[in-house]
Amino acid sequence: MDQLLLPYLQATDDSDRHERLDELLLLHAAPVVRKILRSKLGFHVSQHGTNRDNHEAEDLYQETLTKIVQTLHDLRTSSRPTEIENFRHYVTRIAINACNDFLRVKSPVKYRLKHNVRDIFTRHKDFAAWKVDDEIVGGFAVWRGKARLPASERQVQELENDLDTFLSAKFANEDIHQVTLIRIVAEVLQWIDRPIKIDDLAGFVALLLRVRDQPSKAMSLDEGLVTDLGLAQKVIAAESAVEAKELLNRVWQIVKRMPTPLRDTFCLDFEDYSGADLFSLLLEMGIAGVPQIAQALGRSSDEVNRLRSRMPMDYMTIAAELNATRSQVTQWHFRALKRLEKELGPSEIGRK
């Protein structure tokens, strides 16, 4: 059983059990669910599970968390509970299944296309699918087991932005709708020359073929700052670059005042929507330079640069860095985010 679950399973009174359940949901499950909904469907919800522009996103988020709560309840009460070795991976599967069920009903054409693309990698001898960091990627069979990194989010975005160039180079004077799906997949893989997440590939093929279902009102992330605050994946979205800078500066001022363990844990774990660490954001927005960050953390500039090269860190890496246990890091992170939430106030969290 995953060590994350033991405090909840071993709690002896209702108050302690509810607190442990809240920690599991807020600190470990909710961020994963938000990430999956965002990557699979483009759905975005606030820390409170809300999106005033997309009630379907809210409903799917709440339904997914309800399934997770039921799973945790069954773990505690069942005489033969399911053995969960990795809770976050288990949550990922629940969230992905929820997204697939949603697509099957709401976007049948795209769902069918995704299924057909995935089918190519399981049935055709020239193609293969394998797992990289909990994501299923696809590529030519000869690539499997070799040191080829999958296409990054930036590379996928560049591919989508260069759609016309790709069509002209690969399908000049052809009707793309008359080309076999196998050939389209092969041409995309040759073009990017690396594996790609099958969901990303299916999305690109949908663009090529102009496959559309009923549009959803997913919140745009193109404007302002969207910042992952870990505990509840708080979405802090500003209307302009100026507001984004002001908001991140407020976060930084609050973090600097925190007790050292809370402050350091938050800084080392922090990751925004694009994967940028806190120090990089502070530098890019001109909020603080390396000397100022070093002074705030009581470290040297060399230490700050060393930490930045390894950020964001997972809990085990943070524990080693701070000479602490994983359990301590979890608690520090939880307390840091509670304090940040209290000082920022609900008006700054989850606003469009």
Read off the pLDDT of residues 9-42 as tens digits, 9 standing for 90 and up.
Answer: 888 888 888 888 888 888 888 888 888 888 777 7
Nearest-angstrom CA–CA distance, 71 and 85 = 14
Portion of the chain with pLDDT greater than 90, in percent: 11
Residue 81 is predicted with a pLDDT of 67
Which tens digits make up the pLDDT trace of 291-321?
999 999 999 999 998 888 888 787 778 888 8
In this prediction, residues 118-132 reach a mean pLDDT of 86
What's residue 226's pLDDT?
Answer: 32
Is the domain of 256 the same as that of 332? yes
In a domain, 217, yes or no: no
Enumerate residues 6+ apart whose C-beta is below 8 A from 220. none
188, 209, 230 - which closes a domain: 209
Residue 85 is assigned to a structural domain of this protein: yes
CATH no. for residue 78?
A: 1.10.1740
What is the secondary structure of 333-346 as a DSSP string? HHHHHHHHHHHH-G
Is 45 domain-assigned?
Answer: yes
pLDDT of residue 176: 83
* Domain annotation covers residue 61: yes
Torsion sign, CA atoms 215, 216, 221, 227: negative
Whether 228 maps to a domain, the answer reads no
The answer as to whether 216 is a domain residue is: no
- Domain boundary among the residues 77, 105, 133 is at 105
Same domain, 344 and 250: yes
pLDDT of residue 294: 92
Q: How many CA atoms lie within 13 A of 226 on its CB side?
A: 18
The structure tokens listed for 25 are 């949901």
pLDDT of 190: 92
pLDDT band at residue 92 using 50, 70 and 90 as cut-offs: confident
At 345, the pLDDT band (50, 70, 90 cuts) reads low
Strands, E assignment, the chain: 127-132, 135-140, 196-197
Among 48, 74, 105, the domain-final residue is 105
Residues 116, 77 share a domain: no
- 220 falls within a domain: no
SS3 content of the chain, % helix, strand, coil (to 5): 65, 5, 35
Other C-beta atoms closer than 10 Å to the C-beta of 234 total 24
Q: How far is CA 331 from CA 8, 24, 156, 199, 315, in A?
A: 14, 11, 36, 35, 11
| Predicted pLDDT of residue 275 | 60
DSSP state string for 136-167: EEEEEGGGTTSS-PPPPHHHHHHHHHTHHHHH
**Number of folded domains that form the chain:** 3
- The answer to whether residues 28 and 126 belong to one domain is no
CA dist., res. 252 & res. 123, Å (int): 51
49 and 146 together in one domain:
no
Mean pLDDT of the chain: 78
223 lies in some domain: no
Judge if 265 and 337 occupy the same domain.
yes
SS3 325: coil
**Same structural domain for residues 98 and 114?**
no
**Greater confidence, 225 or 334?**
334
Statement to judge: residues 114 and 162 lie in one domain: yes
pLDDT score, position 49:
74
**Predicted TM-score (pTM) of this structure:** 0.42
One domain for residues 96 and 7? yes
- Residues spanned by the domain of 17: 3-105
Q: Is the dihedral of CA 254, 257, 262, 265 positive or negative?
A: positive
Do 245 and 335 belong to one domain? yes
Question: Same structural domain for residues 282 and 196?
Answer: no
Q: What is the pLDDT of residue 349?
A: 40
Whether 251 and 269 map to the same domain: the answer is yes
Tokens of 299: 């470290």
For the residues 146-172, what does the mean pLDDT come to? 83
The more confidently predicted of residues 293 and 155 is: 293
